[in-house]
Amino acid sequence: METPARPVFLSRTESSEIILQSDLNHLGHLFGGRLASIIDKTAAISAIKHAHSAVVTVSIDSLIFRRPVRLGSILTVKASVNRVFNKSMEVGVSVYSLPPDGPEAEYVCNAYLTFVALDAQGKTRELPTVLPETMEDKRRFAQAGIRRENRLALQAQLGKK
């Protein structure tokens, strides 16, 4: 029996946290690795909401830090499933920072993470498709296909399996 497609909005996830001294590097900015961890956790929640099972991260693509995040900033991370490819799915993430003295949130970065879902035996399993409903969902769906083709082409060029 095939699982019905699930709309993108069911996977939408948003998390926020305040950036503390222990999150900073020697320059006084949020550690890139700390931000990557926050992104991975938020994206995993989105993937779990879609898969209704445990998931594991396969890759993180296009994580480019556009601006530093300062002490006391409120970091907001938004994620949703962009597209499903049989046993894998791409989750798109956008990150914003509201500085303690700033009037509005600033764009920090985005990233694309690939996850697979696991069954009770820890084996990858097929996923329900995602149903893009809005124009934004449809754009992200189409672009996820392009990114996947590029990832696979690069792996083939580099001789990776």
The pLDDT of 90-100, averaged and rounded, is 97
- Asked if residue 120 is part of any domain, the answer here is yes
Q: What is the signed CA dihedral for 97, 63, 87, 79, rounded to 10 degrees?
A: 10
Residue 62 has what DSSP assignment?
Answer: -
The pLDDT of 96-104, averaged and rounded, is 93
Neighbours of 116 (CB within 10 A): 20
pLDDT at 40: 98
- Asked if residue 152 is part of any domain, the answer here is yes
Domain with 75, as residue range(s), is: 6-158
- Asked if residue 116 is part of any domain, the answer here is yes
Paired residues of 93 in beta bridges: 79, 111
The pLDDT of 109-126, averaged and rounded, is 95
Q: Using 50, 70 and 90 to split pLDDT, how confident is the model at 160?
A: low
pLDDT in tens, 13-56: 999 999 999 999 999 999 999 999 999 999 999 999 999 999 99
pTM of the model: 0.93
| CATH code at position 139 | 3.10.129.10
> Could you give phi then psi for residue 43, rounded to 5 degrees?
-65, -40
Owner of token pair 């490819």 = 85
- Asked if residue 1 is part of any domain, the answer here is no
| % of the chain residues with pLDDT over 70 | 98
- Asked if residue 122 is part of any domain, the answer here is yes
Helix runs in the chain, H state only: 32-51, 135-158
The total domain count for the chain is: 1
pLDDT in tens, 46-83: 999 999 999 999 999 888 999 999 999 999 999 999 99
- Asked if residue 148 is part of any domain, the answer here is yes
- Asked if residue 17 is part of any domain, the answer here is yes
- Asked if residue 51 is part of any domain, the answer here is yes
